[in-house]
Amino acid sequence: MAFWSKKENSNGDDVARFTVSNATEIERVFRKMLADQTVVTLYADNGKDFVLTALVGLNMSTGYVYFDLGRDEGMNAVLFASVKSSAIAKMNQVRIQFVSGRLERAKYNGEIVFKAKLPRSILRFQRREFYRMATPMSEPAKCAFYLPKGTLKAAVADVSVGGIGVQYPTDGLQLEAGKTYDGCRLQLSGMPEISISLKVCSIFKTTTRSGATVLHAGCQFVKLPQVAEATIQRYIFKAERERKAHT
């Protein structure tokens, strides 16, 4: 098998590519979300608790948006108590993500609702594009591949809702480009372990931040279960919030 070399880089440019900061465009997205009654998932700041809701109001003059309460009163209480909240919505196969800050209790059209500030920026992923986040070194993520000759335990270098990049030694058990591996076990820090199928799209040699030479395999999720996707989304939001808090 042939490999090529590649140096690791930061994912700052990747974030910028998907960021929308234009106020007019953000308003257009939210008005579309309101008109279509798009399902929105609101996450608490612990990255685990969430409610399914929909946008019910938008006030551009005050800069506030309003969401229905969830069906679970306990989860609603967790959201209200959170210092920050985040949201994910899907509009015509385009994924929208944003941080909505602290949620307030308010009355809108006679109903108790979540009230949040309109975000100054959002992340928008067009169709099959996904934001790739480098995993924090302080909280390593792992993925186990079950091969005929044993188990390959690889370090997860980056993650998105489309797939993961894993790294492992150049000697020992090896993955094969183009092959799909079922029953892989993905462990993201602070999240429950999930079982996934991964297709290896590429393999190359790379140099880690510590200077070691390893193999990097770019893997695509195959028929990712909805529960697993939600877990990955929560992990990305949690890791991004923590990263920003330390910058």
Domains in the chain: boundaries: 5-10+131-245, 22-120
How far apart CA 138 and CA 124 sit, in angstroms, is: 28
Q: For residue 136, name the pLDDT band (cuts at 50, 70, 90).
A: confident
Q: What is the pLDDT of residue 124?
A: 82
Give the CA angle between residues 194, 200, 203 to the nearest 5°: 125
Residues 6+ apart with CB under 8 A from 180: 197, 198, 199, 200, 222
**Please, are residues 40 and 51 in contact by the beta-carbon 8 Å criterion?**
no
Is residue 85 predicted with pLDDT exceeding 90? no
Of 125, 110, 115, the closest CA to residue 161 belongs to 125
Contact (CB, 8 A) for 182 and 197: yes
pLDDT at 128: 47
Pick one of 2.30.110.10, 3.40.50.300, 3.20.20.70, 2.40.10.10 as the CATH number of 22-120. Answer: 2.30.110.10
Closest CA relative to residue 182, chosen from 195, 163, 197, 194: 197
Average pLDDT, the chain: 85
Choose the weakest-confidence range: 23-27, 73-77, 126-130, 229-233.
Answer: 126-130
Place of tokens 């930061």: 10
- 28 vs 47: CA distance, rounded Å: 27
206 bridge partner residues:
6, 214
Q: Is residue 13 over pLDDT 50?
A: no
Nearest-CA neighbor of 116 among 87, 147, 148, 154? 87
112: its two tokens: 């108790």
| pTM reported for the whole predicted model | 0.56
The answer on pLDDT for 246 being more than 90 is: no
pLDDT digits (tens, 9 = 90+) for 177-208: 999 999 999 999 888 899 999 999 889 888 77
Average pLDDT over residues 68-76: 93
Mean pLDDT on 207-232: 85
148: left (phi over 0), alpha (psi -120 to 50) or beta: alpha
Domain 5-10+131-245 CATH superfamily: predicted glycosyltransferase like domains (2.40.10.220)
In this structure, the strands spanning 5-7 and 194-207 are parallel
The predicted pLDDT at position 84 comes to: 84
Average pLDDT over residues 147-161: 93
Higher pLDDT, 40 or 234: 40
Compute the average pLDDT of residues 155-160.
91
pLDDT at 10: 40
- 178-214: string of b/e by CB count within 10 Å (b at 16+)? eeebeebebbbeebeebebbbebeebeebeeeeeeeb
Q: Is residue 236 scored above 50 in pLDDT?
A: yes
Contacts of 35 (CB under 8 A, 6+ apart): none
For the cut 80, the answer to whether the pLDDT of residue 149 exceeds it is: yes
Tell me the CA distances in angstroms from 243 to 193, 208, 238, 240, one per residue in order: 22, 20, 9, 5
pLDDT at 193: 93
> Is 97 a residue whose pLDDT tops 90?
no
